Structure formats: C-alpha cells, structure tokens
C-alpha cells in the first residue's frame, strides 16, 4: 500500500493533469468526501513542489502548470463548498509567499506598492 505522501512523489503535474484534477474537485457527481480528499492532496502537492527544496527540484511544477493553476484557482474556489475552498485557499497562500507581488498581481484587486510600505 502506498501512502498519500509517497504517492505525491510519483506524479508529474502538467496542465492537462491539473485540469482533470480541478474538474474532479469541482464535480457535483463526485462525493464531497472524495472531492475534499483530492483538494487536500492537491494542496499538499503545491506545498511540496511549488518552490521545492533542492532535493525535490526534479518534481517541481513546470512553468506552464503554474500558469494554469494561477489562471484557474480563483474560479475553482468559487465552485466549491467552504470545506473544500478552505484547503484550496491555502494554495493561494503558498503561491503568494513566492510570487504574489511579482508574478501573480491579478489575483488581488489592490496590492501595496513597495514605496507605500514605509
């Protein structure tokens, strides 16, 4: 039996696979519990591979996959119940730690300018 954390190491997230994952998480025909597990699994993958440690560089999300996630995450958040949305919102936090002000400014309506901070 493969643990979920070990399973993360076997996947290569690309835009097509990520799109399928997003569709599964949003599907009204999939039981809520399964969708929640998928959202948590995806959140953990983003946590581990968005900006991975040196030892995990070969597992890092590709640029085209990162672009797909950034372009579609807000929509995914609006299509899901709160319990799933809370886990997906953590993905925005992971991305934001590295890229919010430089590569993902469209996600927030108002962002501080560097000279406004002090």
Six-digit token string for 94:
């992971």
pLDDT at residue 111 greater than cutoff 50: no
Do 49 and 99 form a contact (C-beta atoms < 8 A)?
no
Cα torsion angle, 9, 7, 72, 93, sign: negative
Residue positions counted in the chain: 118
Q: What digits encode the pLDDT tens for the residues 47-98?
A: 888 887 656 677 788 889 988 998 899 888 888 898 898 888 888 888 877 7
Long-range CB contact pairs, 98-104, < 8 A, 24+: 98/50, 98/51, 99/70, 103/70, 104/70
Q: What digits encode the pLDDT tens for the residues 25-37?
A: 999 999 999 999 9
Q: What digits encode the pLDDT tens for the residues 4-56?
A: 555 555 566 778 888 988 999 999 999 999 999 999 989 988 888 888 765 66
pTM for the whole structure? 0.72
């Amino acid at each position: 039996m493969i643990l979920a954390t070990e399973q993360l190491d076997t996947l290569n997230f690309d835009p097509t696979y990520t799109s399928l994952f997003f569709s599964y998480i949003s599907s009204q025909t999939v039981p809520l519990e399964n969708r929640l597990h998928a959202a948590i699994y995806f959140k953990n993958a983003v946590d581990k591979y968005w900006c991975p440690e040196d030892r995990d560089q070969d597992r890092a999300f590709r640029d085209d996959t990162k672009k797909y996630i950034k372009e579609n995450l807000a929509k995914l958040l609006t299509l899901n119940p709160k319990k799933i949305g809370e886990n997906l919102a953590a993905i925005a936090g992971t991305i934001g730690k590295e890229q919010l002000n430089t590569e993902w400014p469209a996600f927030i309506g108002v962002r501080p300018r560097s000279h406004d901070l002090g």
